[in-house]
Structure 1
Amino acid sequence: MTGENRRDAHAPAGRGAAAQDETLRLLADPATHGGQAVRRIDTHASAVFLTGTRAYKLKRAVTYPYLDFGTLEKRRRAVAAELRLNRRTAPALYLGARPVVRTAAGGLMLGDLQADGPDPDRVAGTPVDWLVELARFDQAGLMDRVAAEGRLDARTVDRLADAVTDLHARAEPAEGAGGAESLEFVIDENAQQLTAAPELFPPAEADALIARTRCALEAARELLDRRAAAGCVRRCHGDLHLGNVVLIDGRPTLFDAIEFNRQIAEVDTLFDLAFLLMDLDRRGLRWAANRLLNRYHRARDDLAGLAALPLFLSLRAGIRAHVAASARAAQADADGRAAKQREARDLFAAACGYLDPAAARLIAVGGVSGSGKTTIARAVAPEIGRAPGALVVRSDVERKRLFGVAETERLPERAYRGKVNAAVYRAMFDRAAAALKAGHSAIVEATFLDRSSRAHARKTAEAAGAAFQGVWLSAPEETLKARVDARTGDASDATSEIVEGQLTRAPKGEIAWPRVDADGPPEDVAARALAVLGDR
């Protein structure tokens, strides 16, 4: 089973469940919290009580095939693991463990907060259960709500990518875990759950999807095993969808990582990321999914893994499809059940679509500084190739990477001379070639002032057996200068003076690449570029 499915599963309660009734009454009583109102939220594995500035999470005394909270000691260890794992990303939210204590008079009370984790030896009294204590946050900041309400912007997506990148970089490698074999049980469960709802997932369609998924796994088997051996399987989040990310002071904060089952959380880092990519994409936010993927891969040299991305996306969508199908029964009315049914069908269609073949392409976007190459490359990328769109490789970013400096750190003039320029273009084309080798489309954007650099772009595509297209952006000189002078916080170091010099070297007259008028609003220019490329 997968983490996201397990969180919606149904199973009989463990033997200790009835003994928790007294604890549940204690936590629901406003008197326990100084008279403050209490709101209770139940899931199959926990009960959460929201009151004042705090949230208290009680792990239910239940046992599932994938989760065992059946004894006090097991729940104590789970509380300790939840604190440890989630403090990697949300230390301000996870305040500590709080014991539920049996008093000398025989009643229950909340013990003192233990910030370092649950320790029975430091409890005054007899602990009968353990709570995770969290700081409450504004529910409007949950990223699924932000996305649904149209409040998601590029800066937030970049910050989300940085948060995931940081988690994956710091997460402990899971030796002996992962690889192709670890995904076989996911496929088996998808097969079982999809065939259990034939009214939503016609058997012939479900069988076809599972067969294609197994073929995709076989094709990626060697890659997945190699990635596992290289340390790409780590103790990740495990349940990384938008509902488990919240904006705090404008920064995406990951929380509620899987603590109860290592098999769910010890996964390939790209499989962990794929949950977010799929969640964004199925909400009609492919631009955000593409930007997230690009930002993530600018920080991690992980391009070979793109070959497994269609499989990862399809598995995530398939999992969520049967979760939505199972959730129909829990809906209070017909409208709710119908909504879950539509969601299940849409996710099933997405799971099928992610496995559809799409030939890799290389697109080169050229033009002098200020012509809008980066803006147009980013706008075009979601429309190119397989989900969630093409990898964007910027010469300005590769130059900063070559010098080992931050993207916004200005480089000296010598960093833009002959041999350095050649090295930057080689690095850019190498990165694009790695994506193409993985079957993923790429867009390279640079000035491409020299004919040799334009020829190099075509040869890179030919060497990979990929189609090639180039476009040249042009705009009036005053527009170019105004754009570069207005830039802030960008990898480009161009100035008005540099624009003047580039214009003297730019190709005149007809060139092999079709010209696109880059004057005007970005959305209009992107539409013209896509028309030239044949994608609109």
Structure 2
Amino acid sequence: MSEPPDLAQALQNPDCYPGPPSDIKPVQTSTSYVFLTGDFAYKIKKPVDPGYLDYTTLAKRRFYCNREVSLNRRLCPDIYLDTVPITEGKDGLMVEGKGKALEYAVKMKQMPVESMLSTLLNKNGITSNVMHDIARKLAEFHEKAATSETISDYGDIEFILTGTEENFIDSIRFISKTISQKRYRAIKDYTNGFIENNTELFYERIADNKIRDCHGDLRVKHICVADDVYIFDCIEFNDSLRYSDVASEVAFLAMDLDWYGRTDLSRDFVDAYLTITGDDDLLQMLNFYKCYRAYYRGRIESMKLNMPDVSEEQAVKITETASKYFELAESYI
């Protein structure tokens, strides 16, 4: 999480872009830089491997840029435009330039910040009707999303246990840092008990074709409510994180709305999805998957503590966020 390297710093110059735009607004995450031009957003992947993805080579970053475009077109066909090269010529760096690529970027239409669900939530600008629109968009996506014998295998008890055990094994190192021993044990016991007592339900979900190639990271910050509902930034770096029961995906957004303190909207969203789909069995699994998703977020946040050049101030913030996710996970048991 150090200061942007030379390439990212240089890409803050408007002359690097077609047009050129009048101004560039950079946004940084732990694994990417996004450069907003006003009309477009260009996202480049950092050459990092934090343990849950690997962008360490140019070939890998190009591959995952292409995957990001193709997978996100399922829900946002008009937003994700292409993978474009970043080249260097006699006039310096050029996005969408000619010649040998130094880096690659995902090119997207820029969505309005004021219409992001996170922004609207902070301004109390969301109604139950909006949650119904989001639920309908998601339900239609799930109905069309790919399924197969291979994808359905990810709903098998063996895989479910593998995923939950990975959560618990990988977070042992964070006990007494971001999660207490007592909370760790309580969540683990609940999780294993639920799986043991609901084996038949998991297999019924497979038989009902509820295991789909989903979005994988359905959170508030990945939804824009403008002229349409746009659900973007799905997981492209690990297919197994997208292959899941649709109940798990619904639970992810419901959990995130709880995280924002909007349990009312969380209920509205779930109720609307159930009304649209008639998937009544989903309710039996909702808290299990909410717990799993909140715990997973706590684990991912905790892993950021091991990234290079994390400042003391950043570490405090990461620890606080991870701890709150683990606390939320326990609230569902």
Q: TM-score, normalised by structure 2?
A: 0.85
**CA offsets 1:170-206 (integer angstroms, 9 cap, x no match):** 2111432312233323322432326513154321231
The offset of 1:102, in angstroms, is 4.7
Residue 151 of structure 1: how far off its partner (Å): 1.4
Q: CA deviation at 1:150?
A: 1.6
**Match in the other structure for 2:16:** 32
| Aligned equivalent of 1:171, options 142, 145, 168 | 145
1:351 aligns with 2:329: yes
Q: Does 1:87 align with 2:73?
A: yes
Q: Measured at CA, do residues 221 and 90 of structure 1 come closer, stay the same or move farther in structure 2, by a change above 3 Å? A: same
Amino acid at match of 2:265: A
Residue of structure 1 aligned with 2:42, choices 46, 53, 56: 56
Tell me the distance in 1 between the aligned counterparts of 2:85 and 2:195.
45
Residues 229, 62 of structure 1: alpha-carbon distance in 2 compared, 3 angstrom cutoff: farther
Distance 1:256 1:170 in 2: 18
Instruction: Decide whether the 8 Å contact of 2:40 with 2:109 is kept in 1.
Output: yes
CA deviation profile, 1:88-144 (whole Å, cap 9, x unmatched): 2122321222222354x59543336xxxxxxxxxxx533333211112222222212
Mapped pair 1:135 → 2:109:
yes
1:293 to 267, 270, 279: 270
Distance between the aligned counterparts of 2:130 and 2:294, measured in 1? 23
Does residue 1:43 correspond to 2:33, yes or no? no
1:155 aligns with one of 120, 129, 139? 129
Rg larger in structure: 1
Structure-1 separation of matches of 2:40 and 2:49: 27
- Hey, what's the Cα distance between the residues in 1 that align with 2:43 and 2:193? 42
Give 3-state SS (helix, strand or coil) of 1:267's partner. Answer: strand
Structure-2 change in CA distance of 1:107 and 1:174 (3 Å): farther
Q: Residue 291 of structure 2: SS of its match in structure 1? A: helix
Aligned to 1:125: 99
Letter in 1 for 2:176: P
Change (3 A) 1:84 1:223: same
Q: Which residue of 2 aligns with 1:71?
A: 57
Equivalent residue for 2:259? Answer: 282
Instruction: Output the CA distance in 2 between the equivalents of 1:326 and 1:258.
Output: 18
**Is the 1:238–1:257 contact (alpha carbons within 8 Å) kept by the matching residues of 2?**
yes
- Are residues 347 and 45 of structure 1, via their aligned partners in 2, closer, same or farther at CA, if it must alter by over 3 Å? closer
**Alignment partner of 1:248 is 2:226:** yes
TM-superposed deviation, 1:58: 1.0
In the alignment, structure 1 residue 109 sits paired with structure 2 residue 94: yes
Supply the distance in 2 between the matched residues of 1:279 and 1:64 (Cα, whole angstroms). Answer: 23
Whether the 8 Å CA contact 1:220–1:307 is kept in 2: the answer is no
2:76 partner amino acid = A
SS of structure 2 residue aligned to 1:129: strand
Inter-partner Cα distance in structure 1 for 2:135 and 2:163? 25
For 2:172 and 2:250, locate their aligned partners in 1 and report how far apart those are by CA, in whole Å: 23
Q: CA deviation at 1:299?
A: 2.1
Aligned 8 A contact 1:174 1:266 in 2: no
Gap change, CA 1:108 and 1:165, over 3 Å in 2: same
Change (3 A) 1:39 1:225: same
Supply the distance in 2 between the matched residues of 1:125 and 1:310 (Cα, whole angstroms).
Answer: 52
SS at structure 2 position matched to 1:92: coil
Shift of residue 298, structure 1, vs aligned partner: 1.8
Q: What pairs up with 1:431-510 in 2 under 5 angstroms?
A: none
Query: Residue 171 of structure 1 contacts residue 234 of structure 1 at CA under 8 Å; is this kept in 2?
Result: yes
Deviations 1:269-317, CA, capped at 9 Å, x for gaps: 1101111111112333222122211211122232223322221011112
- One-letter code aligned to 1:84: S
Specify every segment of 5 or more residues in structure 1 that has no aligned partner in the other structure, as ranges: 1-9, 11-19, 113-123, 356-536
- Determine the structure 2 residue equivalent to 1:146: 120
Cα distance in 2 between the residues matched to 1:209 and 1:64: 25
Which has the bigger relative contact order, CA under 8 A and spacing at least 6?
A: 2
Instruction: Mark the CA change 1:305 to 1:280 in structure 2 (over 3 Å): closer, same or farther.
Output: same
Unaligned runs of 5+ in 2: none
Partner of 1:476: none
* Counterpart Cα distance in 1 of 2:160 and 2:211: 12
1:265 matches 2:268: no
Which digits, 9 at most, give the CA deviation of each residue in 1:476-522, with x for residues without a partner?
A: xxxxxxxxxxxxxxxxxxxxxxxxxxxxxxxxxxxxxxxxxxxxxxx
Indicate conservation of the 8 Å contact 2:301/2:318, yes or no.
Answer: no
Contact 2:128 / 2:269 at 8 angstroms: preserved in 1? Answer: no
Name the TM-score, length of structure 1 as normaliser: 0.55
How far does residue 346 in structure 1 lie from its aligned partner after superposition?
4.2
Alpha-carbon offset, residue 57 of structure 1 = 0.7
2:42/2:107 contact within 8 Å kept: yes
Identical aligned pairs, as a percentage?
A: 26
| Alignment check: 8 A CA contact 2:50 2:303 kept | no
State the alpha-carbon separation in 2 of the partners of residues 185 and 320 from structure 1. 17
Query: What residue is the counterpart of 2:203 in the other structure?
Result: 225
1:61/1:139 CA distance change after superposition, 3 Å:
same
1:195–1:206 Cα contact (<8 Å) kept: no
Q: Aligned with 1:239: secondary structure?
A: coil
TM-aligned CA distance change 1:35 to 1:254, over 3 Å: closer
- Find the aligned partners of 1:353 and 1:101 in 2 and give their Cα distance: 50
1:212 to 160, 170, 190: 190
Question: For the Cα contact (< 8 Å) 1:223–1:305, is it kept in 2?
Answer: no
